[in-house]
């Protein structure tokens, strides 16, 4: 059985004692009811994971333990950034959960022209905070040592800049003639652009392709914006070195 996972403060020590407190400490002590003698796993969100033997709990939010082993995972290649158009509220956090489980490295929220959801003013900070929390929760559930970075809300010109910086950029589009399965993914970085439920507009598609992105199709079915990213990550994972060591 897998050990329960909690997010520790950085950096994790290679040996010796470690303390878990705050929100994660409360979750371990008060919710999971972890006690002295049990083993848990701590991650730092940047690739390090430690097996820890709990030596003491104090109050309702503090845990002390001894680091038994520490492993630092190497970054996977290609590095995948998903530009995710804002889904409707009921699917917003689901999209982040699935992307995190699929192994995405970074997620960029994008307010496409056809997005129903809008992050206006304070909603941008609140929306991003929810995405960060969803990514953290999904990382622990999926036993990831890395937590995907959630960027600030991006405009279409800022997405263009990401396309120009990436080794390869792909726009998922239902009318594309080229299947994603035919794309060479032997590169260092990939940007995947996922539109809203209404789809990427022709103007947006034109701007992205002019910047160097290629329109690709996942398969015969049209997927929801919340699930398309996971399917794309899986397709890239099995055709690259991202999954070859597991």
Token representation of residue 106: 């970074």
Token representation of residue 91: 């699917």
Q: How far apart are CA 195 and CA 201, in angstroms?
A: 9
- Give the distance between the most distant pair of CA atoms in the chain: 60
**Pairing label, strands 48-58, 62-72:** antiparallel
Token representation of residue 217: 């199709």
Token representation of residue 179: 């299947």
Among the listed residues 138, 197, 135, the one whose alpha carbon sits nearest the alpha carbon of residue 172: 197
Write out the DSSP string of 40-77: EEEE-BBSEEEEEEEEEEETTTEEEEEEEEEEEPPPPS
Which tens digit of pLDDT belongs to each residue from 123-141?
999 999 999 999 999 999 9
Which residues of the chain carry a pLDDT beneath 50? none
Which tens digit of pLDDT belongs to each residue from 203-219?
999 999 999 999 999 98
Q: Please give the pLDDT value at position 203.
A: 95
Q: Please give the pLDDT value at position 244.
A: 73
């Amino acid at each position: 059985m897998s050990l329960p996972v909690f997010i520790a403060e950085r950096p994790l020590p290679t040996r010796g004692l470690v303390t878990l407190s705050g929100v994660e400490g409360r979750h371990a002590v008060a919710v999971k009811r972890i006690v002295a003698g049990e083993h848990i796993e701590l991650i730092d969100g940047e690739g390090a994971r430690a097996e820890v033997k709990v030596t003491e709990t104090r109050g309702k939010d503090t845990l002390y333990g001894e680091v038994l082993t520490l492993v630092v995972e190497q970054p996977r290649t290609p590095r995948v950034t998903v530009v995710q158009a804002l889904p409707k509220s009921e699917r917003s956090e689901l999209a982040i959960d699935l992307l995190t489980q699929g192994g995405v490295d970074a997620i960029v929220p994008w307010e496409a022209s056809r997005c129903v959801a809008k992050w206006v003013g304070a909603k941008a900070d609140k929306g991003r905070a929810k995405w960060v929390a969803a990514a953290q929760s999904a990382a622990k559930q999926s036993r990831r040592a890395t937590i995907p970075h959630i960027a600030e809300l991006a405009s279409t010109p800022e997405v263009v800049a990401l396309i120009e910086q990436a080794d390869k950029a792909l726009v998922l589009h239902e009318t594309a003639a080229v299947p994603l399965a035919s794309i060479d993914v032997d590169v260092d970085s990939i940007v995947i652009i996922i539109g809203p439920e209404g789809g990427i507009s022709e103007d947006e598609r034109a701007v992205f392709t002019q910047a160097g992105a290629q329109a690709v199709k996942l398969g015969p079915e049209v997927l929801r914006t919340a699930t398309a990213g996971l399917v794309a990550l899986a397709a890239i994972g099995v055709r690259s070195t991202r999954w070859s060591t597991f």
